[in-house]
């Protein structure tokens, strides 16, 4: 059999494995198939480099009931189980402490207000700051995006570290903050330089810090690109049009994202019956998804009337549907990250809303998708080199 293992060879290997198990011969677990609890032990420093290469004890199960398949898990010792439990309790205590700290800093008016009032006041402040920074000029908007990227990167790495990952938070946050600035100053060349510098720094960290693993390097690079690089699409749109139309175009893009979320929530909560992604986000429905696309298309049609934008109504409808789908995908991706990490919210910086990453998840993919569609479609001039 070309390009793979024949069925006879698979059966022969399984038969030899069962024979070794009957004889009590210890087996070695492949590096690529470490169980989750062993990975967690490595992350917490409970497993040394020499322990990773040790041979595992023979399996205490009937080999006939599971003749082939992935290696079986083995139990931790009582001391290791107790240490892991203490680590989990410590993480939960840290989360509770952050929530109490945020509650202590919350004004009494917000504490006594209802959840809807808190959400409305927080959203009003968030909206006002966004509008002022976007309309004030290029530099205030870039500074705002740098702050958003840094905060979102911090929340992202905090969730992944609680999931027994070991990302390099310092390098990831610095790169996320530098992405908007580099794109504004040097365009695509700046983004490439930041990506190259981040990759080289992570490789040096991986080589000289023996506890680092390839997944940790990937998480560090992904977190910086996800929270910093994707926001640069807003800068491309902002600098491609003269003032004030560049800022108005960015605000309309913000409104399309918010309209997508609002339409999806209102329609989905009323008539939503068919689940969109029940295992990732049980509250999202196909009815709400379609309503969100309509809300996104409406504001994209409004973009076609901005001076300097050469976009037909047909293009606006198509681009609105594509960007709406990207916004939902970004929302589902962040929901999956929170669910795997055991978090309900990514942070507590926005009372009533959770973390800043919770409010910006739809914007990441939407902004870069919108910039690509507008430039490739010839709707706006491409001035970023």
Contact 362, 257 (CB under 8 A): yes
pLDDT recorded at residue 76: 59
pLDDT recorded at residue 16: 76
Q: How far apart are CA 226 and CA 154, in angstroms?
A: 12
pTM for the full predicted model: 0.69
The phi and psi torsions of 281 (rounded to 5 degrees) equal: -140, 90
Rounded CA-CA distance 28/345 in Å is 40
Taking the C-alpha atoms of residue 385 and residue 382, their distance in angstroms, rounded to an integer, is 8
pLDDT the model gives residue 347: 79
Instruction: Supply the DSSP string of 297-357, one letter for each residue.
Output: HHHHHHHTTSTT----HHHHHHHHHHHHHHHHHHHHHHHHHHHHHT-SSS-SSBTTTB-HH
Angstrom CA distances, 289 to 59, 109, 211, stand at 48, 35, 43
3-state SS assignment for residue 18: helix
The CA distances from residue 67 to 43, 198, 343, in Å, are 31, 45, 38
Helix (H, G, I), strand (E, B) or coil at 284: strand
Report in angstroms the alpha-carbon separations of 244 from 13, 238, 251, 284. 70, 9, 11, 36
pLDDT at 325: 94
- C-alpha 333/C-alpha 362 separation (Å) is 9
What residues of the chain score a pLDDT lower than 50? 1, 26-74, 109-114
Cis bond before residue 128 (omega within 30° of 0): no
Q: Where do the structural domains in the chain lie, given as residue ranges? A: 7-76, 78-106, 143-229, 241-385
Tell me, what's the pLDDT at 71?
41
Return d(Cα 163, Cα 166) in angstroms, integer: 9
């Amino acid at each position: 059999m070309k390009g793979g293992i024949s069925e006879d060879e698979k059966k022969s290997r399984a038969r030899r494995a069962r024979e070794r198990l009957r004889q009590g011969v210890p087996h070695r677990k492949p590096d690529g198939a470490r169980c989750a609890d062993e990975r967690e032990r490595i992350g917490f420093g409970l497993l040394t480099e020499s322990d990773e290469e040790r041979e595992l004890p023979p399996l205490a199960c009937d080999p006939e009931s599971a003749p082939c398949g992935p290696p079986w898990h083995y139990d931790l010792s009582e001391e290791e189980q107790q240490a892991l439990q203490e680590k989990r309790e410590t993480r939960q205590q840290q989360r509770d402490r952050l929530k109490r700290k945020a509650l202590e800093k919350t004004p009494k008016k917000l504490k006594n207000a209802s959840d809807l009032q808190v959400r409305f006041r927080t959203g009003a402040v968030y909206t006002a700051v966004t509008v002022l920074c976007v309309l004030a000029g290029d530099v205030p908007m870039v500074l705002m995006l740098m702050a958003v990227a840094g905060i979102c990167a911090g929340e992202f790495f905090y969730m992944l570290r609680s999931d027994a990952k070991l990302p390099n938070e310092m390098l990831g946050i610095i790169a996320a903050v530098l992405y908007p600035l580099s794109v504004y100053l040097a365009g695509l060349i700046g983004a490439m330089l930041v990506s190259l510098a981040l990759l080289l720094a992570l490789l040096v960290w991986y080589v000289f810090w023996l506890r680092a693993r390839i997944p940790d390097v990937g998480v560090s690079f992904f977190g910086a690109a996800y929270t910093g690089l994707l926001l640069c699409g807003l800068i491309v749109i902002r600098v491609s049009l003269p003032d004030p139309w560049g800022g108005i175009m960015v605000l309309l893009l913000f409104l399309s994202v918010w309209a997508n979320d609002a339409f999806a929530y209102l329609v989905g909560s009323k008539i939503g019956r068919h689940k969109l992604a029940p295992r990732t986000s049980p509250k999202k429905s196909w009815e709400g998804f379609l309503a969100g696309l309509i809300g996104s298309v409406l504001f994209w049609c409004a973009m076609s009337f901005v001076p300097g934008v050469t976009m037909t109504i047909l293009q606006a409808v198509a681009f609105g549907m594509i960007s709406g789908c990207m916004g939902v995908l970004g929302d589902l991706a962040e929901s999956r990250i929170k669910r795997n990490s055991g978090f309900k919210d990514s942070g507590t910086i926005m009372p009533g809303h959770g973390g800043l990453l919770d409010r910006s998840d739809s914007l990441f993919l939407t902004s870069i998708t919108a910039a690509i569609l507008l430039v490739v479609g010839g709707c706006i001039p491409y001035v970023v080199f």
